[in-house]
Amino acid sequence: MLLDLDVDSQERLFGLLFCVIGFLVCVFFGFRRFSHYRLIADTPTALIRSAPQGYVEISGQVIAGEGGQLRSPLSGRPCVWYRIKIDRYQRNSNNKGGRWRSVRRETSTQWFQINDGTGTCLIDPEGAHASTQHKKVWFGSSEMPGPVLSTTSFQQYSAKIVGSVGGGRYRYTEELIFEHERVFTLGAFRSVGGGRERLDLKAASTEILRDWKADQAALIGRFDADGDGKIDQQEWKEARKEAIKQAKLQQREMDKRPTLHVLGDPNEQGQPFLLTTHDEDGLLKRFRWQLGGFMACALLAFWIGLELLLTTPV
């Protein structure tokens, strides 16, 4: 044994439990990071114009969606996506130390677009594992912040060092994606419109007939050719022909729609939806460091647990 531990049986038991839980958590997140790393490294970047349907990797320049740019609720800065956190520092009952408690969490879900030079793709950001280069943390004394402090200001550094002052210290965290930034994303790609969607004409005509039957007066007024106040077999046959004609018109209207490309959450195990403004090489480097950190912590937990297991309690 390398460590000369002096613990009783209860401390030894709690220490072993802590090490086992820590080891399993680190291994879980380590393998999760490794799977993400392999997916990014092994998935080639596709062009929007020719991307296959399904799980793909796309990179392009950000364009605001139809609703225009958003405003961050914290700083008011224009952006296409934001994630904010507000935490309040609460002192312990004995007035010694304290902890940050969540007050507000919010992530925007408005769609935006990216263009890679070959086409434009709509991005549905809901459910994405997002990381951005533009992340700011600052402090204030009210739940909603005042003007954003400069990242080099003396006030911001002193607030980080001093920490909580009284019971009203708040911490604000803001992550943003701006228009014209370059975004790297990995998710489920699909194309709609452009004649890709085909109606089941029989099912569509049946639905049209069901709607007509719901208004009997209008149905009789339209198809009662002999004026007897009811729809006979021949008249119903004409109604069915007209319903099929209407379904074909719907198909022609669908064929006129332009092609739209959409990328979003695959909702599949083992296929994460990643959205980042870091380039691919930078993202892979971050994953390597994180994987190394998790594995190092797992080995540390295993070693300490083994030392505890071999230690005779006092």
Per-residue pLDDT, 230 = 81
Domain coordinates of the chain in residue numbers? 9-193+259-309, 201-256
Write the CA distances from 146 to 4, 77, 158, 301, integer angstroms: 53, 13, 17, 43
Higher pLDDT, 145 or 155: 145
> Mean of the pLDDT values across residues 129-137?
91
Spatial contact of 304 and 297, defined as CB atoms under 8 Å apart = no
Per-residue pLDDT, 157 = 41
pLDDT tens-digit readout, 164-206? 444 458 999 999 999 999 999 999 999 877 656 677 778 888 8
Residue showing tokens 């109606």: 199
Mapping DSSP onto H, E and C, the string for the chain reads CCCCCCCCHHHHHHHHHHHHHHHHHHHHHHHHHHHHHHHHHHCCECCHHHCCCEEEEEEEEEECCCCCCEECCCCCCEECEEEEEEEEEEECCCCCCEEEEEEEEEECCCCEEEECCCCEEEECCCCCEEECCEEEEEEECCCCCCCCCCCCCHHHHHHHHHCCCCCCCEEEEEEEECCCCEEEEEEEEEEECCCCCCCCHHHHHHHHHHHHHHCHHHHHHHHCCCCCCCCCHHHHHHHHHHHHHHHHHHHHHHHHCCCEEEEECCCECCECCEEECCCHHHHHHHHHHHHHHHHHHHHHHHHHHHHHHCCCCC
Residue 96, amino acid: K
Per-residue pLDDT, 84 = 95
Within 8 A by CB and 6+ apart from 141, the residues are: 165, 168, 169, 170
Per-residue pLDDT, 3 = 63
Higher pLDDT, 257 or 49: 49
Distance, in Å, from the CA atom of 74 to the CA atom of 84, rounded to the nearest integer, reads 7
Per-residue pLDDT, 275 = 92
pLDDT tens-digit readout, 33-56? 888 788 777 778 889 988 898 999
pTM for the full model?
0.67
Write the CA distances from 9 to 5, 6, 12, 147, 307, integer angstroms: 12, 10, 5, 55, 14
Answer whether residue 288 shows pLDDT above 60.
Answer: yes
Answer whether residue 162 shows pLDDT above 80.
Answer: no
pLDDT tens-digit readout, 265-281? 998 877 889 999 987 77
